[in-house]
């Protein structure tokens, strides 16, 4: 077995203790009356955000932005942890352009002319429209019983299994869980709802082939950060999938949502407020919306904004993380509250001194490193 890099010593935090700090809330304590935002963003996170704001990310061409995102994670993010086994697979997905009800989607959204999408590094553009990649992380020779199918963040426009490789390794090791990372196709080459369809088809493939993948079919959950959290929550909402050409065939055992993107309407106070000196700003969210959607008229569709779904009671037991300095904060809190109101066993953690995307800057920020460790410990709690 490969040697595993052990993380540096971390300060004690409440995710693994009985006593909450000012930055985190216990599982079932409501947020009403609690501080949603620290007086200041943690200093090292603010330093990175100021540095990134010198050349606003929302002004970057998509292809360049994808390289910048990967470079940021490699330079500022987690150190790579060796696994017992990492398996890369290429799996089939439906080619062509799906239709949603009576809304014909832009035929160019499934264009084969682009080779910049991260799901294909070769020159076979037809192949890029019929396959996606999975990366399976087995953290130890004594394979964990449970598995998390993970969808990376990036607004549905940037990100890949490579930008989240180190994070998935960290989750696998410290969460003591097999992680299967999904390299779904990205907008603007593959607009809504193609990333959703890819996510569902990957989910169905994993469940149908659990024996070959050496995972327990009774304990497969779904999760992701930001846009990946959005894709993950839709996997468990079968009623939203009826207009899609594919539907999830198995209900997830649990869902693990890290500052998820659950409403693209952009109507909240946090969405309006946070528009400078952060990794994710309102302008950057607008950039993602315009590239992911065919029209802003689609923002009210529950498949685009699952917070708008009439009923989310079919969701599995859930973990959801929200942050004090995040345009998505208020929508995430509202989603957590709806899950609880629907009777879903829900653990909601809120870090009031962190910003969206902190998992990519752990080398510079002790708080980001600590909070990332807490996420892995929250995942580990699903083993109980």
The residues carrying an active-site annotation are: 226, 326, 356
The three-state (H, E, C) secondary structure of the chain, written as one string: CCCCCCCCCCCCCHHHCCCCCCCCCCCCCCCCCCCCCCCCCCHHHHHHHHHHCCCCHHHCCHHHHHHHHHHHHHHHCCCCCCCCEEEEEEEECCCCCCEECCEECCHHHHCCCCCCCCCCCCCCHHHHCCEEEEEEEECCCCCCCCEEEEECCCCCCCCCCCCCHHHHHHHHHHHCCEEEEEECCCCCCCCCCHHHHHHHHHHHHHHHCHHHHCCCCCCEEEEEECHHHHHHHHHCCHHHCCCCCCCCCCCCCEEEEECCCCCCCCCCHHHHHCCCCCCCCHHHHHHHHHHHCCCHHHHHCCCCCHHHCCCCCCCCEEEEEEEEECCCHHHHHHHHHHHHHCCCCEEEEEEEEEECCHHHCCCCCHHHHHHHHHHHHHHHHHHC
Chain position carrying tokens 């696998």: 172
Q: CA angle, 336 as apex, 331 and 339 as ends, to 5°?
A: 125
Chain position carrying tokens 């292809």: 63
In order of 4, 250, 266, 348, the CA distances from 358 in angstroms are: 23, 32, 21, 18
Write out the two tokens for 243: 């207009």
Write out the two tokens for 352: 């009031």
């Amino acid at each position: 077995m490969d040697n595993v890099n052990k993380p540096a010593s971390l300060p004690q935090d409440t995710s693994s203790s009985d006593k909450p700090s000012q930055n985190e809330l216990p599982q079932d304590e409501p947020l009403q009356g609690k501080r949603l935002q620290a007086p200041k963003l943690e200093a090292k996170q603010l330093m990175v955000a100021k540095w990134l704001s010198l050349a606003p990310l929302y002004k970057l061409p998509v292809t360049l932005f994808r390289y910048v995102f990967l470079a940021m994670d490699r330079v500022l993010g987690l150190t790579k942890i060796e696994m017992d086994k990492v398996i890369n697979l290429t799996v089939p997905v439906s080619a062509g352009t799906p239709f949603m009800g009576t809304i014909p989607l832009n035929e160019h959204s499934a264009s084969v002319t682009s080779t910049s999408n991260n799901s294909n590094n070769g020159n076979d553009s037809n192949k890029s429209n019929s396959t996606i990649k999975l990366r399976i992380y087995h953290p130890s020779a004594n394979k964990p019983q449970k598995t998390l199918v993970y969808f990376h963040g990036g607004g549905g426009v940037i990100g890949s299994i490579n930008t989240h490789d180190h994070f998935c390794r960290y989750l696998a090791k410290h969460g003591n869980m097999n992680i299967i990372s999904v390299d779904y196709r990205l907008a603007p080459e593959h607009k809504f709802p193609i990333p959703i369809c890819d996510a569902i088809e990957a989910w169905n493939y994993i469940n149908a082939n659990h024996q070959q993948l050496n995972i327990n079919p009774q304990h497969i959950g779904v999760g992701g950060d930001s846009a990946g959290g959005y894709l993950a929550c839709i996997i468990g909402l079968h009623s939203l999938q009826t207009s899609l050409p594919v539907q999830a065939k198995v209900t997830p055992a649990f869902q693990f949502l890290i500052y998820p993107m659950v409403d693209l309407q952009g109507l909240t106070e946090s969405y309006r407020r946070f528009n400078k000196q952060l990794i994710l700003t309102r302008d950057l969210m607008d950039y993602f919306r315009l590239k992911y959607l065919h029209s802003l008229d689609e923002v009210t569709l529950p498949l685009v904004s699952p917070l708008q779904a009439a009923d989310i009671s079919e969701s599995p037991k859930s973990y959801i993380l929200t942050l004090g300095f995040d345009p998505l904060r208020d929508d995430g809190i509202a989603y957590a509250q709806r899950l609880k109101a629907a009777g879903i066993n829900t653990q909601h953690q809120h870090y009031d001194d962190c910003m969206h995307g902190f998992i990519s800057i752990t080398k510079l920020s002790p708080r980001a490193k600590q909070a990332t460790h807490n996420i892995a410990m929250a995942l580990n709690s699903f083993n109980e």
